[in-house]
Amino acid sequence: MSERPAAAFSRNEMMIVAAARELAGQRVCFVGVGLPNIAVNLAKRTVSPDLELVYEAGVFGAEPARLPLSIGDPTIVTGAIAVTSMFELFGYYLQRGLIDVGFLGAAQIDRYGNINTTVIGDYVHPKTRLPGSGGACEIAINARQVFVIMRQSARSFVDTIDFRTSPGNLGGAENAARIRREQGWLGSGPSVVVTDLGIYHFDESGEMRLDSLHPGATLDEVRATMGWEPRVAEELRTTPDPTAQELHLIREELDPEGMYTK
Amino acid sequence: MSERPAAAFSRNEMMIVAAARELAGQRVCFVGVGLPNIAVNLAKRTVSPDLELVYEAGVFGAEPARLPLSIGDPTIVTGAIAVTSMFELFGYYLQRGLIDVGFLGAAQIDRYGNINTTVIGDYVHPKTRLPGSGGACEIAINARQVFVIMRQSARSFVDTIDFRTSPGNLGGAENAARIRREQGWLGSGPSVVVTDLGIYHFDESGEMRLDSLHPGATLDEVRATMGWEPRVAEELRTTPDPTAQELHLIREELDPEGMYTK
Amino acid sequence: MTSKVASMRDAVAELVRDGDTVAIEGFTHLISFAAGHEIIRQRRRDLTLARMTPDLVYDQMVAGGVARKLVFSWLGNPGVGGLNAIRRVTEGPDASLELEEYSHFGMVARYTAGAMNLPFFPLRSYFETDLPRANPLIRPIESPYGDGKVYAVPPLRPDVTVIHAQRADAAGNTQVWGLLGCQKEAAFAADRVIVVVEELVDEAVIRADPNRTIVPGIIVDAVVVEPFGAHPSYVQGAYDRDNRFYRDWDPISRDPELTTRWLDEWVHGVSGRAEYLAKLGAERAASLRPAAPAPSGSVDYGAYR
Amino acid sequence: MTSKVASMRDAVAELVRDGDTVAIEGFTHLISFAAGHEIIRQRRRDLTLARMTPDLVYDQMVAGGVARKLVFSWLGNPGVGGLNAIRRVTEGPDASLELEEYSHFGMVARYTAGAMNLPFFPLRSYFETDLPRANPLIRPIESPYGDGKVYAVPPLRPDVTVIHAQRADAAGNTQVWGLLGCQKEAAFAADRVIVVVEELVDEAVIRADPNRTIVPGIIVDAVVVEPFGAHPSYVQGAYDRDNRFYRDWDPISRDPELTTRWLDEWVHGVSGRAEYLAKLGAERAASLRPAAPAPSGSVDYGAYR
């Protein structure tokens, strides 16, 4: 066990721990690179030991011997249950509806959980050219639930995203549910957003609602880092501190160099 | 070497030898069960040693250690170049246009090489229920050339087939070429029909033309076993007798029990 | 990890229901006759039987009275002749078995659409044939790029898919070598999956060669350990096809009475596969073993720590 | 059997032409940097570069001036950040590199349509997103079964596909284990195929395990033997990803002058991969070897005579 006191933790560590805890009871998780990767691997070591890790590179049931540095790291292949072509991974696993939780990050997100990872500014002459969809667009449509993990800032939590790469609750829950039903999407869209300040779920109207504030974070900070007036749960909770075990796993096993958690 | 004199051969043996010789210079051949199987394996041992055998069961580059008894015999797998799913075999090999020659048999064939392997009589209440398409319909459309090998009879060489399972030259060459071009088919349709009586190719109009009579067969026999008046080449040839080597291979290696060649 | 290992009797009792669409897949290789016989033995009724090549297993099941309908692409006793029990109920004015007919690629494409949750799958077959008239579910579709049309087939989503494999672990992670047919697609397309294996192996055997896995346990409902369960079809590396059986079935199946007697003796008259094998005899089984091993060799995945 | 073994120089000189659509595929695994560098070295121009994840290899090729257009689904330096040379020619009013953009599944589906000679491939992505507006080649298509619409992508048919593999024989029969990405589909979709391998093996090695073959020699035009030819990406079982290289590329690629100097030194300044590796040093290469072997184990195909 780490000898540092449990209370001394960074906001990034809190974010990862909160995201990992949200995975309790989930079965099959599509892992993204970076923060989701650490959160999922932490969940597998704590709240969800039976979690099957799926990587879009074509791996099902990975048991990485080290924290994978990319979603195609050879450590996710050796000892996995199955390695498939990407055609099969995206077709037979994701589009087929076998993924319970897909993780997404975002450059911009709106109140309905619609996500932009394509461009900032105009599409043809962008101010910033971002990575694009990768598998995000299909995860948003086909994963049974979508978890978002990202740091909060006024630049990223915006009233209107510049480009919709991955659909969330579209213009609201009713509309989104109708479209998902009509189009035969298997996914039910975004279900949780975990940031460095708190945990959001989506209310009946399909809008993000702050349900839990991380220790030390304030509502003012939340408001200062969002492009809209956030809905707040009537009984706003405080996220429990990371446990000593959670911090130990992050610091000693999952991110010993502190690449993501400092 | 067999001690039987080369001249003593059956019509089935002549048919197989003639079909094998037509494969000279071909590269990739889709093998069917039965007669095509023996003909192709004979060609590989004589005129076309580089022939790559493809089996619809999912095998490319088979080197069967014995004559396969079905198109899914384990002997076609052991020692093959590649084994694939049938999705890939039909999609990436056949529909992609990588098959030079596909072999078809027929219950009924018409003068344009259109083939029926589905029913004799009415579709819903057939007199005889035949096997159906299997892969024949896609071979007819996608193989670069189609070879037909079958015994001739008035029941099978008919004026009008009861059901078109596999398209040949449709209603004639011009029409067939236009449709194949317009639809982007990669195959050019039937190119040769080898029977127990002779060898047919297709003329400019897309009709079967008798180009070679097997030794001992007569034009009268040909006419008596066809539902239409056959076109005959101006210079009708006689198929050269099977060589001693060809007969030896058939009798000692490929069909020692004479299942197909007696 | 929960074990999904079950007896064939329990697996069929729990997972195969009257009226289901059942696909026992395996193209000439790995055909689960053991499951087919158990379904007959438990007297399931009104099944829609889907399979590219119905083969002897469906001829026996049709004779056994379990089927209402057949979805297929090639109907025959490979290398021998026709399927006589099926012909009896599909020929002439009294034909009673419903047929839904495709080509091989059409059936593969149907399973693939099912496995991918697509509303259809496009292919270049069927043009200028009578098949779309015989089966109105084969439909033309225009390319959205203005370059002509192709045909579409609808997804096939079996209620139950049964596959036979060389090995699986207790969670249902399944590996196959040799012919793969369309088993992967048929399994992913299905609502419930039964895997029958020659050998139950430790999870570590599966994890040592993840590229060999065709079906993950996550979609598997039951793992049945039934060595020689594919007889008279074959299992690559384990046993050969029993051609004598295929030939013998022809005269038996031509005679309805002989057929019934055969079913009474070899299906209803035995409690399961073990008894069937004992009846078949060790000598017959031994005669089907390959002449010699043909090892694949090992590759190195490397330990990355 | 004719040998297709060629040097990288000859393979690129003969098979890659100005104006071609070139796909160097391999998802994080088996990326042929050796081929990318040779294309830069031979100063090909006006190429359309297709790849799911352009990665460092296309950042370097764009910096080397070979590209007119990029067809892709994710643009980044995985785990590190952006692709700076590509960003310089795609951001702001003077953006000069043409982009054609899909999602991962869209790119895979495009290669698959190419490999299957289909006019389109249907998928459930893109609904309610801005992607079909950004790329009008992503088009809606109605299901012919009256159950709604999906989106279609057009086939991608590269003039040349380059893949890196663990092993092939001289005829180009190629085997891969570990991540398979979309290499099979990209190869079958292409007009010409270059296979680069860690190891040239005897045909008997391939034939001992036919299920491991991803590409048959019949579609391969050249086999280039180039051990460590995928560095700084990795080859399962042979070497690890060189993460230091990926991190180092970030500051280099941010500065146009440093980028040019790097290309001069590491691409134009060496005659080929052997010299590149000598320059990199045996120690660096050795540090990337896996910690220990992880053997797959062998399976038995059985000899059937």
CB contacts of A56 in chain D (<8 Å) are 104
3-state secondary structure (DSSP) of residue C214: strand
What's the pLDDT band for A2 if we cut at 50, 70, 90? very low
Give partners of D (≥3 CB pairs < 8 A): A, B, C
CB contact under 8 A, C206 and A74: no
- Closest-CA residue of B relative to C289 is B74
Alpha carbon distance A143, A160 (integer Å): 24
Nearest to D241 among A70, A86, A126 (CB): A70
User: Which chains have 3 or more CB–CB distances shorter than 8 Å to chain A?
Assistant: C, D
Verify whether the Cβ–Cβ distance A132 to D72 is below 8 Å.
yes
Residues in chain B: 262
Query: Distances from the Cα of A36 to the Cαs of A15, A30, A197, A249, C256, in angstroms?
Result: 10, 9, 16, 15, 63
What lies within 8 Å, CB to CB, of D147 at 6+ separation is A184, C119
Dihedrals phi, psi of A107, to nearest 5 degrees: -85, -35
Question: CB-CB: which of C119, C219, C305 is closest to A98?
Answer: C219
Backbone angles phi, psi at A167, to 5 degrees: -75, 140
Residues D77, D84: Cα–Cα separation, whole Å = 9
Interface residues of A toward C, Cβ cutoff 8 Å, are: 27-28, 50, 52, 59-61, 63, 65-66, 73-75, 77-83, 88, 91-92, 95-98, 142, 184, 186
Q: Which of A15-24, A53-62, B173-182 comes out lowest in average pLDDT?
A: B173-182
Q: What pLDDT sits at residue C215?
A: 98
For residue D74, the number of C-alpha atoms closer than 13 Å in the C-beta half-sphere is 24
Who contacts C176 (Cβ-Cβ below 8 Å, separation ≥6)? C30, C165, C166, C183, C212, C214
> Which residues are CB-contacts of C274 (< 8 A; sequence separation ≥ 6)?
none
Q: Does the pTM exceed 0.90? A: yes
Pick from B138, B179, B180, B182 the residue to mutate for testing the C interface (most C CBs within 10 Å).
B138
A161 in Cβ contact with A108 (< 8 Å): yes
Residues of B within 8 A of C129 (CB-CB) are 137, 164-167
Tell me how many helices (H) and strands (E) chain C has. 12, 12
Fold of B11-250: Glutaconate Coenzyme A-transferase (3.40.1080)
Rg for chain D, CA atoms, rounded: 20
Token pair in block for residue B104: 């078809």
- Looking at the complex, report in whole angstroms how far the Cα of residue D21 sits from the nearest Cα belonging to chain C: 20
pLDDT at B2: 41
Whether the Cβ atoms of residue B261 and residue B49 lie closer than 8 Å to each other: no
Q: Would the CB atoms of B95 and D304 count as touching at under 8 Å?
A: no
Residue A23 has pLDDT above 80, yes or no: yes
D143 within some domain: no
Q: Which of B52, B56, B138, B207 is catalytic?
A: B56
The residue ranking higher by pLDDT, C296 or C91, is C296
The chains found to touch C (3+ Cβ pairs under 8 angstroms) are A, B, D
Q: Domain for residue D275, yes or no?
A: yes
Nearest 10 degrees: Cα torsion B147, B150, B154, B158:
-30
pLDDT tens digits for B131-184?
Answer: 999 999 999 999 999 999 999 999 999 999 999 999 999 989 998 999 999 888
E-assigned strands of chain D?
A: 21-24, 47-50, 67-72, 98-101, 121-123, 139-142, 149-153, 160-168, 174-175, 192-200, 213-215, 222-225
**Which chain B residues are closer than 8 Å to C181 by Cβ?**
57-58, 85-86
The answer to whether residue D113 neighbours chain B at the CB level (below 8 Å) is: no
Reported as half-sphere exposure (CB side, CA atoms, 13 A), residue C199 has a value of 14
Note if the bond before B190 is cis, omega within 30 degrees.
no
Residue D200 has pLDDT above 80, yes or no: yes
Inter-chain CB pairs, A–C, below 8 Å: 72
> Which residues of chain A make contact with C201, given a CB cutoff of 8 A?
none
Tens of pLDDT, residues A113-145: 999 999 999 999 999 999 999 999 999 999 999
State the pLDDT at residue B32.
79
Asked whether the beta carbons of residue A134 and residue D104 sit closer than 8 angstroms, the reply is yes
Domain layout of chain B by residue ranges: 11-250
Question: How far apart are the C-alpha atoms of D155 and B84, rounded to whole Å?
Answer: 22
What is the tally of structural domains in chain D?
1
Contacts by residues A235-239 (CB-CB < 8 Å, ≥ 24 positions apart): A236/A210, A236/A211, A236/A212, A237/A211, A237/A212, A237/A213, A238/A212, A238/A213, A238/A214, A239/A14, A239/A18, A239/A198, A239/A199, A239/A212, A239/A213, A239/A214, A239/A215
> How far, rounded to the nearest angstrom, does the alpha carbon of residue D149 sit from its chain's CA centroid?
32
Q: Which residue has the tokens 């500065």?
A: D255
- Alpha-carbon dihedral angle through residues D143, D107, D118, D160, given to the nearest 10 degrees: 170
Q: Does B78 contact D211 at a Cβ distance shorter than 8 Å?
A: no
Helix (H), strand (E) at residue C162:
strand C160-168
Q: Assign A124 to helix, strand or coil.
A: coil
Rounded to an integer, what distance in angstroms lies between the CA atom of residue C105 and that of residue A87? 18
Of the candidates C298, C303, A74, C204, the one whose C-alpha atom is nearest the C-alpha of residue D292 is: C303
- Rounded to an integer, the average pLDDT of A147-158 is 96
Which residue blocks in chain A are alpha helix, DSSP H?
Answer: 11-22, 35-45, 86-88, 136-142, 173-182, 219-224, 244-248
Q: For chain B, which ranges sit under pLDDT 70?
A: 1-7
% chain C with pLDDT above 90: 96
Q: Where are the beta strands (DSSP E) in chain A?
A: 28-31, 52-55, 59-60, 82-83, 101-104, 108-109, 115-116, 119-121, 126-129, 145-149, 190-194, 198-202, 208-213, 231-238
**List of chain B residues whose C-beta atoms are within 8 Å of the C-beta of residue D303:** 65, 78
Which of D27, D128, D130 is the closest to A163 by Cβ? D130
All residues of chain B having their beta carbon less than 8 Å from the beta carbon of residue D185 are: 92
Residue of B nearest to D204 (CA): B79
**Which tokens hold the place of C231?**
């007889």
Smallest CA–CA separation between D87 and chain A, in Å? 6
Going from the C-alpha of D67 to that of each of C33, C218, D46, D252, the distances in angstroms are 57, 44, 5, 20
Under DSSP, is residue C278 helix (H, G, I), strand (E, B) or coil?
helix
Of C101, C127, C133, the CB nearest to B183: C127
Domain limits at C280? 8-119+154-287
DSSP assignments along B37-87, one per residue: HHHHHHHHHTT-TTPEEEETTTEES---SS--SSTT-GGGTTT-SEE--HH
CA contacts within 13 A on the Cβ side of B247: 19
Mean of all residue pLDDT scores within chain A: 93
Name the percent of chain A lying above pLDDT 90.
83
Chain B residues whose C-beta sits inside 8 Å of any chain D C-beta: 27-28, 50, 52, 59-61, 63, 65-66, 73-75, 77-83, 88, 91-92, 95-98, 142, 184, 186
Would C133 be classed as within a structural domain?
no
* Tokens 């121009």, residue located: D45
The reported pLDDT for the residue numbered A200 is 98
List A52, A56, A207, A246, catalytic entry: A56
C202 CB-contact burial (10 Å; exposed 0-12 / middle 13-18 / buried 19+)? exposed
Distance CA D209, CA C297 (A): 7
According to the model, what pLDDT value does residue A4 have?
Answer: 46
d(CA A162, CA C240): 62
Q: For residues A225 and A234, is the Cβ–Cβ distance under 8 A?
A: no
| Residue D184 backbone phi and psi in degrees, to 5 | -60, -50
**B179: distance to nearest CA of chain C, Å?**
9
Point out the residue among D87, D126, D179 whose CB comes nearest to the CB of A57.
Answer: D179
Chain C hits for D114, CB-CB cut-off 8 Å, are none
What pLDDT, on the 0 to 100 scale, is given for residue D155?
A: 98
Supply the angle between the helices C243-254 and C256-263 in degrees, to the nearest 10. Answer: 130
C112 touches B: beta carbon within 8 Å = yes
Q: Which residues of B touch C130 (CB under 8 A)?
A: 118, 123, 163-165
- Cβ–Cβ pairs < 8 A, chains B and C: 168
- Smallest CA–CA distance from D292 into chain A, residue: A78
Are D301 and C145 a contacting pair at CB < 8 A? no
Q: Given pLDDT bands bounded at 50, 70 and 90, which one contains residue D1?
A: low
Cα–Cα distance, D11 to C233 (Å, whole number): 46
Distance from CA of B179 to the nearest CA of D (A): 16
CB contact under 8 A, C296 and D209: yes
Residue contact A74–D104, C-beta within 8 A: no
Neighbours of A3 (CB within 10 A): 6
- Cβ-contact C60, C250 below 8 angstroms: no
Q: Count CB pairs under 8 A between chains B and D.
A: 73
Query: Using one digit for the tens of pLDDT, what is the confidence trace for A69-102?
Result: 888 899 999 999 999 999 999 999 999 999 999 9
Contact D105 A91 (CB under 8 A): yes
Q: Is B199 helix (H, G, I), strand (E, B) or coil?
A: strand
Would you call D180 and A79 a contact, using CB atoms and an 8 Å cutoff? no
Tokens of A28: 């099959």
Residues from chain A contacting residue C173 (CB–CB below 8 Å): 61, 81-82
Task: Provide φ and ψ at A200, rounded to 5°.
Answer: -115, 140
What is the chain B residue with the closest CA to C109? B87
Instruction: Kindly report, residue by residue over A194-210, the tens digit of the pLDDT.
Output: 999 999 999 999 999 99
CATH number at residue C223: 3.40.1080.10
Determine the residue of chain D that is closest to C146 in CA distance: D119
Asked whether B187 and B180 are in contact (CB, 8 A), the reply is yes
The residue to which tokens 């051969």 are assigned: B9
Q: Is residue A253 flagged as an active site residue?
A: no
Residue D140: CA count within 13 A, CB half-sphere: 8
